[in-house]
Amino acid sequence: MTKLNELTITEAARMLRAGECTVRELWDACALVAQERSLELNAYLELFDADNVAIAAAQKRIDEEGEKAPLLCGIPLAIKDNILIEGHVASAASKMLENYTATYDATVIKKLKEAGALFVGRTNMDEFAMGSSTENSAYGTVKNPHDVSRVPGGSSGGSASAVASHGAIASLGSDTGGSIRQPAAHCGLVGLKPTYGAVSRYGAIALGSSLDQIGPFGKSVADTKALFETIYGKDPLDATTTDSSTYPVRECGEKLRIGVPRHLLTEGIDADLLEAFETTLTKFSDEGHTLVDIELPTSSYALPVYYVIMPAEASANLARYDGVRYGHTARGKDLLEDYVKSKTEGFGKETIRRILLGTFVLSSGYIDAYYRKADAARGLLTSEYDEAFKTCDVIAFPTTPSPAFKFGEKTDPVSMYLEDVFTVTANLTGMPALSVPMGTVVRAGSTLPVGMHFTAPKGAEDVLFKAGAFVTGETL
């Protein structure tokens, strides 16, 4: 029999309703494994004590409501450390917020609590979500459960590692340039970056406000969908949120039209990873789905565009950490010195690098050449995607060019930034995107998962789930 902590949400929900296990047993199974593997993996920054009231309430609700109880009722989840849970520290894996206790629940947490979900702990990440390997955490790196000498990806590396090691049934992360999809690919999970505005960011620690989205990690497409459907929706506390009427409904037939930008796949991708991608595409066409060649000419500029927009927004967002009202506080001889000392001591190196870069691209004399140009290019990129979606339902490419890499392998910033070469476009265009496991490759004796990436038009998450479920062989 599968261990309780290794179940998916849908399997666990069925067993809970059938009385084959209790909420307490499910919690204990996850909490125990999370504890046992915490030193080795460092996926969690903090494991929470069992919330006996919430566990009892979830059990009572399942007993009384049965099938009508929310699917997530009694399900233990892991939450990225940049999402606020009232009464718990939310540090964004930074020294700056080491002692910051959340004074309110993020909207996504409020919704999960209403659904009866439980929280195993808060997960490690790259500081302020800046990174692609979780090597930028102020609290140590996170290990990939498939090979502990390798990174889990980032920035939501802890949320991915926690679920892949079965220390939680599913988790939440945040995705600014690929921070859910890339670790999902590296850890063999399904990860969704929802449409910009689909999920409220109220209570999420901001990195790049025109790019950030909170999204789910799951062991299956069905789990990812269940989490998404619990947390999405318009929120008066986040003015950027959308509702079902914001974007036109996308009708797609039983058979999907898969757009493939062949021109992006000619170089820089590992041969065996590309082979896994081609094999998956062949499965689609064998089942009667159509493969469509598409052109996205501006895509090769997406990463440079991203590395102007994101640091610009990060430098503005992180200006709030000044040692005055909350967070790390250091004292100097005057107020200016208070600011400088607090920031210099509180921020890690990559955070400082991006603040400086953002300050540069926004500074007088450079804002036109960098920020305004990047902003305009972003519009062009979006219209190319819109055009491509006239001939296809989803766009497919590999999530990453290579599988999970070893610690310390990417030492210069640009080579690390290239990890996100395929994923950033969905953030720049605001479109929803999903990574699903498409197979494995072998590196130095380790079998490592690799991911397939689908992008859909805004508001068309359902089309993504359909494409993803085909790859995983699920029936939704």
Partner 1 sequence: MATKASPEDVRRLAALSRIEISDADLQSFAEEFDAILAYVGKLEELTLPSVSERVLPAVRNVLREDGEPHAPGVYTEKIVEQFPERDGNYLSVKQILSHD
Q: Which residues are catalytic?
A: 80, 155, 179
Spatial distance between the Cα atoms of 426 and 210, rounded to a whole number of angstroms: 12
State the minimum distance, in angstroms, from the CB of residue 376 to partner 1. Answer: 5
Residue 406 lies near partner 1 (rule: CB under 8 A): no
> Per CB under 8 A, which of residues 185..214 are in contact with partner 1?
197
Buried b (16+ CB within 10 A) or exposed e, 28-48: bbbbebbeebbeebbbbbebb
Using the rule CB under 8 A, which residue among 27, 385, 417, 465 binds partner 1?
417
Neighbour order of strands in the sheet with 394-398: 44-47, 118-123, 76-80, 170-175, 213-218, 190-193, 433-443, 446-455, 394-398, 257-260, 290-293
> Which residue shows structure tokens 């068309």?
460
Give the per-residue contact string, 48-87, with partner 1 (x = CB under 8 A; - = no): ----------------------------------------
Residue 389 lies near partner 1 (rule: CB under 8 A): no
Using the rule CB under 8 A, which residue among 373, 439, 462, 472 binds partner 1?
373
Using the rule CB under 8 A, which residue among 236, 253, 288, 473 binds partner 1?
236
Cβ atoms of 218 and 189 closer than 8 Å: yes
Q: What is the DSSP letter of 290?
A: E
Using the rule CB under 8 A, which residue among 307, 385, 405, 422 binds partner 1?
307
Name the residue among 353, 409, 417 with its Cα closest to residue 155. Answer: 417
Pairing of strands 118-123, 76-80: parallel
Cα-to-chain-centroid distance, residue 397 = 18
Residue 336 lies near partner 1 (rule: CB under 8 A): yes
Give the per-residue contact string, 423-452, with partner 1 (x = CB under 8 A; - = no): -------x----------------------
Spatial distance between the Cα atoms of 239 and 257, rounded to a whole number of angstroms: 34
Residue 334 lies near partner 1 (rule: CB under 8 A): yes
> Per CB under 8 A, which of residues 99..128 are in contact with partner 1?
100-101, 103-104
Largest CA distance in the chain: 72
Using the rule CB under 8 A, which residue among 242, 280, 317, 455 binds partner 1?
242
Give the HSE-up count for residue 227: Cα atoms under 13 Å, Cβ half-sphere.
31
3-state secondary structure of 56: helix
> Which residue shows structure tokens 């500074």?
363
State the minimum distance, in angstroms, from the CB of residue 470 to partner 1. Answer: 29
Closer Cβ to partner 1, 80 or 343, answer by number: 343
Residue 422 lies near partner 1 (rule: CB under 8 A): no
Q: Which tokens go with 282?
A: 């062949």
Residue 407 lies near partner 1 (rule: CB under 8 A): no
Give the per-residue contact string, 243-262, with partner 1 (x = CB under 8 A; - = no): ---xx---------------
State the minimum distance, in angstroms, from the CB of residue 359 to partner 1. Answer: 5
Using the rule CB under 8 A, which residue among 14, 24, 353, 406 binds partner 1?
353
Stretch that binds partner 1, among 26-34, 69-77, 146-154, 343-351 (CB under 8 A): 343-351
Cβ atoms of 263 and 293 closer than 8 Å: no
State the minimum distance, in angstroms, from the CB of residue 147 to partner 1. Answer: 28
Output phi, psi for 374, to 5 deg: -65, -40
Using the rule CB under 8 A, which residue among 72, 377, 388, 441 binds partner 1?
377
Using the rule CB under 8 A, which residue among 66, 255, 293, 376 binds partner 1?
376
Spatial distance between the Cα atoms of 456 and 28, rounded to a whole number of angstroms: 38
Using the rule CB under 8 A, which residue among 27, 48, 139, 370 binds partner 1?
370
State the minimum distance, in angstroms, from the CB of residue 284 to partner 1. Answer: 30
Cβ atoms of 225 and 436 closer than 8 Å: no
User: What is 344-402 written as a DSSP string?
Assistant: HHHS-HHHHHHHHHHHHHTSTTTTIIIIIHHHHHHHHHHHHHHHHTTT-SEEEEESSSS
Cβ atoms of 348 and 141 closer than 8 Å: no
Contacts of 109 (CB under 8 A, 6+ apart): 79, 83, 84, 85, 86, 119, 203
Closer Cβ to partner 1, 51 or 338, answer by number: 338
Residue 374 lies near partner 1 (rule: CB under 8 A): yes
Closer Cβ to partner 1, 267 or 412, answer by number: 412
| Residues near partner 1, by CB under 8 A | 100-101, 103-104, 197, 236, 239-242, 246-247, 298, 300-301, 303-305, 307-308, 315, 319, 322-326, 329, 334-336, 338-341, 343-344, 347, 352-353, 355-357, 359-360, 363, 366, 369-370, 373-374, 376-377, 379-380, 382-383, 386, 412-414, 417, 430, 458
